[in-house]
Structure 1
Amino acid sequence: MQRDHHEQLQLSWQANADAWTAAVRERRIESRRLVTDAAIVQAVVALAPKRVLDIGCGEGWLCRGLAEQGIESVGVDASVPLIDRAQALSNERTRYRVCGYGELANQAAQLGRFDVLVCNFALLEDPLAPTLEALHELLESGGRLLIQTLHPWRAGGASGYRDGWRVETFTGFGEGFSQAMPWFFRTLESWLTLLRQTGWRLQWLQEPLHPQSEQPVSLLLLLSAEQDRA
């Protein structure tokens, strides 16, 4: 079943590339527009990196935003259509590459090392341990990993607060989404346990709030490699 979920997830990003690009570029998604886009950009900029890797970059919006701040960015994604759309708007500070999570270790030499690695609503699979372990080979000494994901206390839905696969239908994101997307839900305890087991140490945790409801929209984690603890 894990293989089926993985394949369905990948196929969803192929099939929905145009719809997702439109939803992002037209700023149709309220949580992104009001909260999470600014939260991740501000978190990256505060670290003053020279070079950033955006893992699961989609159509490239974050790389473009960081380029406006003078930051060199590389975006990787397994979806060829999304990388094509990102490359169409590339500039001298952005570069994109087709690369699935399972290929990160093999492509580490070509990608090089980075001051900051970003996973912005990108860690949707299970198992994730191999991906999180592979990220160590891409990080400069003293570098940081930033993860933004759905807030576990708000995203469990009818299935309750337990780890497991969920389905995103993209309702409210606009027209054109032809295929639902499976994604793996983790509790806060599971997230922290997984990160510790894969060699990451929590530096800080933030919970960006919706400006009207004042409820948490996302979970934002800053991590360092365990070997840098000294």
Structure 2
Amino acid sequence: MNKISRTKAATINSAVASTAQIIQLIMQFVSRSIFINVLGAEFLGLNGLFVNLLGYLNFAELGLGAAITFSLFEPLVNNDKPQVAAIMHLFRKWYRFIALFVLIGGIMLTPFVPHLINNGTNHLNINVYAAFLLALSNTVLSYLLTYKRTLLLADQKGYINTLNTVGYNVAGQLIQIITLWLFKDFYLFLIIQAIMMFLSNLHVAKVVDRMYPYLSEYKNEKVSNKIIKYMKKNISGMLSSKMGGDYC
């Protein structure tokens, strides 16, 4: 991609991201207002607790996505297709390990969730364990196939990822709003969230496969030692930054 096309891509990415941000803020406000109106503030607090707990489990990602994005820049500029494919295959393997780690960690955390809720769980009239596992499934699914989004970001095609994300988010929120009014079911709210996450990742994965067919042509290619060292340096920096941001 030449300098002019990169400039145009950056402009498009910025415009799409800004518009998407506004749309998502509006939808989040509407969705949250209806959520509180239908289920009550207690369930909003419960959902917030789930988000916070799963956020700690997401620490296992260690800034890997950003580090991989940086590592893809040079191979993409040089049109080094074997190295791009090798990095993506390595990324897929790492993210599967992270998904497994988050799943195991979430299951181990599940028995303690009710003890973190003020005033107990009897007034909620739901199985908190089941609800948390549904929320956990959404987080685990977020690591499957989502690694392909990184390639779009590194190749200055982030607008495609943004359109995918905002499209499925808005569609999911609209479905959640309708089902909340009809069924007033927190479980269904979480199930829709997980399904839309999976469909979003599946869709963007198919788009990437179509745009970069060579990813399947270099299955046995190894990442060069130079890029591995660069990744380790970036991951170390991201980890330090993340720890500093979370604990300082």
| Larger relative helix fraction | 2
TM-score normalised per structure 2: 0.24
* Higher RCO, Cα 8 Å, sep 6+: 2
| Larger relative strand fraction | 1
TM-score normalised per structure 1: 0.25
